[in-house]
Amino acid sequence: MDYREAFDHTLEKFGITAKSLALKSGVQERQISHFRNKQKDLMAGNLFSLIGALPTDAQIYFFSCVASESMLETVDLRSLVKSMPAARKSEVLTLIADSLLENLENTETNGLISAL
């Protein structure tokens, strides 16, 4: 599924209106409607702002719809992070720290199992 379809499906699934998303993201409601109706594409920064304004579960759903290595490799993480509010950046750092700790714990557990 392409990113436009995934975005449209995400808004429908979570009952998110273009109006509410426009208020949270700073992207004009008209631009969102044109994007959803395939009349115009969005600048990458605007798409990142829209995705960043989605609730976390909606973001996960969106990325699961478009999940492929090629899509994830082309995301400009620097732009994405710059467009996030401070609270969101903090959330991302916490998720990264948790993931690193989990990896470390799994590595230590696997080492103990191998030693037995």
* pLDDT of 56 above 80: yes
Model confidence at 52, pLDDT cuts 50, 70, 90, reads very high
Quick: pLDDT tens for 11-48. Answer: 999 999 999 999 999 999 999 999 988 888 888 889 99
Report the alpha-carbon distance of residue 37 to residue 22 in Å, rounded.
Answer: 16
pTM for this entry:
0.57
Mean pLDDT of 72-96: 81
Report the alpha-carbon distance of residue 73 to residue 85 in Å, rounded.
Answer: 23
